[in-house]
Structure formats: C-alpha cells, structure tokens
Structure 1
Amino acid sequence: MGILLFEQFSNYCLANTVEPLRAANDVARRKLYDWHFLTLDGEAVNASSGLSVAPDASLREGAGGEILFLLPSYGFRTLAKPASLAALRSAAQRYGTLAGLDTGSWLLAAAGLLDGRPATIHWEELEGFSESFPEVEARRERFVIDGDRITCSGAMATYDLMSELLGRHHGEALRLEVSWLLMQGSASAGDAPIAAARSPAVQRAMRTMQEHVEEPLPMKKVARRVGLTQRALEQRFRSELGAAPRTVYRRIRLLAARKLVDETRLPVSEIALRCGYENPSAMTRAFAAEFGLTPRDIRNAV
C-alpha cells in the first residue's frame, strides 16, 4: 500500500490508517500488509500537529500496489494543481484502488477519478463538494467503497473503514481481534473485548461467554441469560460486531487457548479441555484456521 501525505495532513487520520494494519500483522504473526509513505515530491511534510514525516519515496517513484491512500487535510483546495492531479491520474495506473481520506475525495474528484461514482467527504465540505463536482454522486456517509475507488469522511471514520477492509480481506475473526486489541490494549482473553459492543445486552452476552469458556453454553441459554431470544441476539451481534454470536464465542475460546499456549507449558490436550474442546485435534484445527498457526508452531517459534 502507498500512503500519500500532503502538507498539513491529519496525524489522527494517519494513525487510524496505519495502526489497524500494524495490529493485523501483529495478530496474524505474519506480514499481511506492507505500506510505504509517499509525498508528491519526495520531501518531508508536516502534519497539522507539527509532526514531520520523511517519506520513503515520491509518488512518481512509488512502485505501485493494491491501494493508494490520499491524506490531505487543511488547504486541500490549493493542492489541486495541474501537476498534482496529473500525478494522481498516473498513480491510478499503478495502484489497484485509490482511497481519498478526509478531504482526499476532493483531489480525486478534481483529477476526474470519481466521475460517475458515489463518494463522500468530510461533512463540513460535502455541500461545496457536491456543487463543485456535479458529475460525482455526493453522499453523506462515513465511507463509500465503490469498486476501485474508496472515499472516507474523516479521521474517526477512517478507523471504521480500515476495520471494514480488514474484514473483507481476512475475515471477521481477524477484524474483531484487531478491534479488541486496539480498544482494550490486549488481545488476550483475560482482557474482556466488551468495548467492541455498544448495547448492554451484547456486553452481558460477551461477559457470559467469557465466564463459560471451559464449559460453553448453548447459544439459546446465552440469549436467555441476557433477556433476549436467540434470534434477537443474532441480530444484535451482527449489527454491532459484524459477526454471529457463535463466531464471537469461538473466538473468545480460541483467544483463551492462545493465551495458554503463549504463557504456559500445559499440554495441548489440557488447553483444549480448559477452552471447551473435548478433542485436542478439533481445537488444533480450529486454532490453525483462526490464527494461521498451530499451537506447536507458536511454541517452536519462541
């Protein structure tokens, strides 16, 4: 991925772009994502906070990749110069997808790269964006993914966008764990991933799951304990966490298993029992499917 920074870029937006990628690599224990910092001329730029970033290369020197993220912020209109827009059009030939974050949508539209497409931008600029680019379908949304074009409405929405991309690229399980890791400071089962849920009912359900790792409860009983039908629980989980309760429960149990693999020398058979698996082979298969590594792989790597 290329991350194209402009003078006065938002450091908050940059962090919400890069940190989910870094966390995904950490969780997966392998490099799922690789990124390079770019500027139009290869010179350092300063964030609106004063942070200076020296790029790896200029946009022209960038080798290309799957996605190019554009991160302008203040003064974005002055950036829409013919040379800059030509550079973006050229980059569109080297990157599979172009993503305008915050006010990056304006530059994509000015370069003619959003013609005939739906797009969003920071809410303060939406009206001006719509008037300036009638050929673009302006939408008041947090982010819009339209094939090989992505637009996002601001720094906070950038985190939601990156979470969505993680889920699309590598599944809901990884997306959930990255969310828990960044929100809680740890992905271990000992740190409850409750903050990922909004409603008290879903929070209570997740707490119930954590309290019954060794002897998992049927989903119907989990729902009854929080005062919901199983169907209502399913709907709440999918709405708030983007995954079924059963998926979240399995993930909680496997996170508990990985914590024991990491921090103890217990045999896999004992870990399996402690995490609700009567069959060690079944746990090992589920563990490898979730993390891409078996318990033995993790211990041998230490």
Structure 2
Amino acid sequence: MTCRYNILLFNGFSNHCLANMVEPLRAANTLSRQSLYEWRFYSLDGKAVQSSSGLIVTPHGALQDQCGEILVVMPSYGYLALDTRETIRALLSAARHHAQLAGLDTGSWLLARAGLLDEYRATIHWDELSRFEETFPSVEAVQERFVIDGNRLTCSGAMAAFDLASALIRRDHGPLLSIEVGHLLMSRGVADPYALPLKSEDTLVNRALAVMQANLETPLSIRDVARKIGCSQKRIEMRVQAELRTTPQALYRRLRLNLARKLTEETEQSIAEIASRCGYENASAMTRAFKAEFGRTPTAFRSGAPN
C-alpha cells in the first residue's frame, strides 16, 4: 500500500529540508522497486512558492480538500508572519483529512498555534526552542533532532529531516531498507564501488556485516561468521533478529543479491559472471534467488521488462 505525503510549502521554505525529507522516500521506492511512497506539493492558495535560496516550486494545487496519510508543514524562515488565522484555519481543516501531521523545522510552531500539538512531545529548530516552550505550555517541548509521538512528527531542521525520513522508513518497512537508503544517499570513500558497506547501530551486528561483506564471492557459513568475530552462532542470530528483524542467513543473502542487482544495473557482465561474483554456483541458482527477492529475473531487470 502506497503512503501519500502532502507537503505544504510556504515562501521562505528550506529546499535543503525538503530534499532531505523527500529523497529518502524516493530512494526507498527505488531500492524496493515498489511505490511505497508518493508525495505532492501544495501551497495554501495553489500559487508558486519560493524557497529561502530562490528555488521556485510550482505546487500541484491548493491544500484545500486534499487528503493523505501524512501532512508535512514546511515553512522555515519568516514563519511568524505565517502565524495567521488563515493559516490556522487551513491546518485545522487539513488535519481532519490526514492520519498523521508533521512539522519540519519551524512547522512545529504553526501546528502548535492550531492546538494540534497539545499534550504531545515535539521539537522545533533549536534556535526557537525557548520561545516555543514559553508560547505553548501545553506542548512538551524537547531538544531532540526529531520526535515521533503517536501520529505527530516533528523535527528540528534540514539535517534532522533526513533522520526523520529514515526513521519513518524503518518504522514502515523495517530497519534493513532504512540502512540501505542511508547507504545509497550517504556513502563515501568506498574502495569497491559495488560493495555495500551497510552499518547498524549494534556493534556486534556491524562486525558480522563486515565479515559478510568481505566474503560475498565465497560465502561463509553463519557458524564461520560467528567464529571470525569471536562469538556463538546463537548470539549472532539473536542480535541480528533484534536489530534488523531478519535472520543472519537472510541478511547474507540480501547482501549478495543487492550486489547482483548493482552489477546487473551498472555493468555489462554476463549473468554467469555476476552469479560467480555474488557467491552462486551457477546462473540458474542466482536467477531463482534474484527473482524471489526482486520480483524479476536479472535479464528482465536489466532490460527494464515488467514482472
């Protein structure tokens, strides 16, 4: 099921914040080969808006009567001038047509003014936190990069918008896709452009990932992976399940198939060569695993043919 984000922009919005919210969603669609997310841009009156750096965005229309899963309120600079009856009326109306409300950067201020953050934990750009806390005592203001409190989402600025988007992908579709999105958008200094240096927040899982990623062409047993990092197979299985909601075997297979997908997309190597590089004895075995994971054979994937 596709989750729809309706993004309400105002003059002076931060296009850095906008990109950091939308690009992870786009990357999740790309990596999953599914339309997990869609997004539309709106302004209060349907007219074009200009970002703080001069980027002009022509919205899909006016916010009025739009509905979706998440309404994202994104002002930024000059937000106090937007604190008007017209804005508050529009937000109260829109809130009835969206399951979740998000305030990015100073968007929290407008949601709070409409009473839509009362009794919720929320954050705002830290430069405005003291004034926010004093003005809206019914809101539990906290100095955090982002806050997800039930169906209210807030973040403190442009860089935090990426963290929030990643957390939402993790919540909706699991930690592994969120980690892969982070790698796709933030990788740097990778010696092998086709390696996938995924990272977890768990040190032991990271060590297991490092061993797996170093042994894609000649896969090890999970027992051997555990031996290399000095722990038991059972402990690896428990930690990977707790952190990534999958088994070490499935994780290892995902790493090998992600490599196969990148090689299929970005090189002209034969399917047999790719299979060998990804630890499969023959092309047929890899093709079956590839289709089970991505819904298409490597040949169809490479040609762009449908499922």
TM-score scaled to structure 2, two decimals?
0.81
Match of 2:253 among 244, 250, 255: 250
Q: Which residue of 1 aligns with 2:139?
A: 136
Structure 1 residues 299 and 102, CA gap change in structure 2 (3 angstroms) = same
Code of the residue aligned with 1:217 in structure 2: it is L
Structure 1 position 292, deviation (Å): 4.2
- Give the distance between the partners of 1:75 and 1:69, measured in 2 at CA: 17
Kept in 2, the 8 Å contact 1:190–1:256? The answer is no
Kept in 2, the 8 Å contact 1:13–1:158? The answer is yes
Superimposed CA distance per residue, residues 104-156 of structure 1 (whole angstroms, 9 cap, x where no aligned partner): 11111100111111111122222221111111111222211122211112111
- Give the distance between the partners of 1:31 and 1:6, measured in 2 at CA: 27
Q: Which residue of 1 aligns with 2:20?
A: 16
Kept in 1, the 8 Å contact 2:14–2:51? The answer is yes
Any stretches of 5+ residues in structure 1 without a counterpart? none
Q: Which residue of 2 aligns with 1:65?
A: 68
Query: After the TM superposition, which residues 2-151 of structure 1 pair with which residues of structure 2 at under 5 Å, given as runs?
Result: 2-60=6-64, 63-151=66-154
SS in 2 for 1:194: coil
Structure 1 residues 264 and 32, CA gap change in structure 2 (3 angstroms) = same
- Give the distance between the partners of 1:267 and 1:130, measured in 2 at CA: 59
SS in 2 for 1:37: strand
- Give the distance between the partners of 2:220 and 2:107, measured in 1 at CA: 47
Structure 1 position 25, deviation (Å): 2.1
Count of residue pairs brought into register by the alignment? 298
Code of the residue aligned with 2:150 in structure 1: it is G
SS in 1 for 2:161: helix
Superimposed CA distance per residue, residues 31-50 of structure 1 (whole angstroms, 9 cap, x where no aligned partner): 32221111112122221112
SS in 2 for 1:114: coil
Structure 1 residues 201 and 174, CA gap change in structure 2 (3 angstroms) = closer
- Give the distance between the partners of 1:191 and 1:264, measured in 2 at CA: 13
Kept in 1, the 8 Å contact 2:196–2:259? The answer is no
Code of the residue aligned with 1:276 in structure 2: it is G
Superimposed CA distance per residue, residues 211-257 of structure 1 (whole angstroms, 9 cap, x where no aligned partner): 31132224454455456777589769977x89876665333211122
Kept in 2, the 8 Å contact 1:260–1:266? The answer is no
Kept in 2, the 8 Å contact 1:38–1:59? The answer is yes
- Give the distance between the partners of 1:28 and 1:232, measured in 2 at CA: 26
Code of the residue aligned with 2:31 in structure 1: it is V
Q: Which residue of 2 aligns with 1:184?
A: 187
Any stretches of 5+ residues in structure 2 without a counterpart? none
Kept in 1, the 8 Å contact 2:199–2:209? The answer is no
Does residue 259 in structure 1 map to residue 230 in structure 2? no
**Kindly, what percent of the aligned residue pairs are identical?**
53
- Give the distance between the partners of 2:93 and 2:112, measured in 1 at CA: 14
Q: Which moved further from structure 2: 248-257 or 192-201?
A: 192-201
